[in-house]
């Protein structure tokens, strides 16, 4: 069943086109990867889904509901959560306060505490450092915190923009393994990731964006085996 549907969306910045006529589907329970070089519209697409970038044309449906003109916080309340590129934490607040801010649309205090416990189970280092100021964490720990904050919104669809950005290679595996675990727990994932090989290895399906357009689509394995992908992104 399609959870998210983009229908012929276009995005412009000061009349300069960034995304052209993009249509894609994310089905419930999937990990779907959007890959491609920098500046090809992947982050713009995620921000549009989250309600942070207005569309020039096209429509966005979530669970069959047209959310194209809904405010970002309303979409969050429906179950759409974005972990942005660069993490965008509150660097002068503690780990725990950053996490609790992720639950700003929620009202059930008991459920919020359960979500906090779940994040600490996924990332034990955050529990150990719950009172530490977020800006003093390592890059990898900050990424864990950003993902944890996204989970505090209790998403049905979690969007991750470059989760391996700026972190040590040994932690990339930890982050991507955790993304698979989050998916196994029942959360649908839409992933933008610079590490094309690793992203397609964990994705059920993928889309390749170039100059704001989808140029290839298929299963993760099909795209990994595609000679064009191997030549352009995998150095094969």
3-class state of residue 33 by DSSP: strand
**Helix (H, G, I), strand (E, B), or coil: what is residue 45?**
helix
Q: Which residues pair with 208 in a beta bridge?
A: 35, 216
What is d(CA 173, CA 179) in angstroms, rounded to the nearest whole number? 10
User: Does the domain at residues 2-92+156-233 carry the CATH identifier 3.40.50.620?
Assistant: no
Residue 168, pLDDT score: 84
- Give tens-digit pLDDT for 66-117: 999 999 999 999 999 999 887 789 999 999 999 999 998 888 999 999 999 9
Predicted TM-score (pTM) of the model is 0.93
Rounded Cα distance between 189 and 229, Å, is: 22
Return the pLDDT at 169: 85
Residues 6+ apart with CB under 8 A from 156: 3, 63, 78, 79, 80, 187, 188
Q: Quick one: pLDDT at residue 236?
A: 61
Per-residue pLDDT, 161 = 94
Specify the pLDDT at position 10: 95
Question: Tens digits of per-residue pLDDT, 50-74?
Answer: 999 999 999 999 999 999 999 999 9
Residues contacting 205, CB < 8 A, separation 6+: 30, 32, 33, 217, 218, 219, 220
Ranges of the chain with pLDDT below 70: 236
Strands (DSSP E) contained in the chain are: 2-13, 16-27, 31-35, 57-62, 65-66, 80-83, 157-161, 188-192, 205-210, 213-219
Q: Residue 105 has what pLDDT? A: 85
Domain-wise residue ranges, the chain: 2-92+156-233
| Burial class of residue 202 (count of CB atoms within 10 Å of its CB; 0-12, 13-18, 19+) | middle
């Amino acid at each position: 069943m399609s959870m998210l549907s983009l229908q012929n969306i276009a995005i412009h910045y000061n009349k300069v086109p960034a995304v052209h006529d993009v249509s894609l589907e994310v089905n419930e329970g999937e990990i779907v990867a959007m890959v491609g070089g920098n500046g090809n519209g992947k982050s713009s697409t995620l921000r549009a889904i989250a309600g942070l970038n207005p569309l020039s044309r096209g429509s966005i449906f979530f669970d069959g509901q047209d959310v194209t003109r809904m405010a970002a916080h309303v979409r969050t309340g429906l179950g759409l959560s974005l972990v942005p590129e660069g993490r965008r934490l509150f660097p002068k607040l503690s780990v725990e306060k950053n996490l609790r801010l992720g639950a700003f649309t929620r009202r059930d205090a008991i459920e919020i505490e359960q979500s906090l416990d779940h994040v600490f189970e996924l990332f034990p280092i955050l529990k150990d450092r719950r009172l530490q100021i977020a800006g003093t964490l390592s890059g990898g720990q900050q990424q864990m915190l950003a993902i944890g904050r996204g989970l505090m919104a209790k998403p049905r669809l979690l969007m991750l923009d470059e989760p391996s950005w700026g972190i040590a290679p040994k932690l990339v595996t930890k982050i991507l393994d955790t993304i698979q675990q989050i998916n196994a727990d029942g959360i649908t994932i839409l992933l933008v990731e610079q590490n094309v090989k690793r992203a397609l290895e964990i994705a059920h399906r993928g889309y390749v964006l170039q100059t704001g357009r989808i140029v290839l689509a298929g299963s993760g394995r099909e795209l990994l085996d595609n000679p064009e992908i191997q030549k352009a992104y995998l150095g094969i």
